[in-house]
Amino acid sequence: MTQQATVKRLLTHNMAEVEVTRRSACGHDCKKCGGCGGMETQLITVTARNTAGAQPGDQVSIEGETRQVLGLAALVYALPIVLFFIGYALGASMRLGEGTAALIGGVLFVAGILLAIAYSRHMKHQNKVTFTITGLI
């Protein structure tokens, strides 16, 4: 996954802090659509390997490790759904009724969302999602 970014500052160990415009999940033109609430204007700051020797203020191309990004996306979207079905199946197997089974599934769904958020924040603080500056623009 390649994106454009601006180098904000240089860090130690050949790393740089870069500012990236968050892309929409659908990849469409958000300015025309507006369906996702204008996420194209959201700026995020990430740490990237500075293999291109970029300096603060430079416009650069960065590449993220697709496997890690897709793994996080799978976790965020799949974990809550899987936990919902597990909760529903547990409630149904105990013959508690459909409403109670759905409630158990709903509680596990929310727990899955909270777990995914916590894991995502942990990964961000640990700088586990790796980006590399591939060149100047």
Query: Is 0.85 surpassed by the pTM of this model?
Result: no
Burial 100-126 (b: 16+ CB within 10 A, else e): ebbebbeebbeebeebbeeeeeeeeee
pLDDT in tens, the chain (137 residues): 788 999 999 999 899 999 988 765 555 555 556 555 554 567 888 889 999 999 999 999 998 877 777 777 788 889 999 999 999 999 999 999 999 999 999 999 999 999 988 887 887 777 666 789 999 99
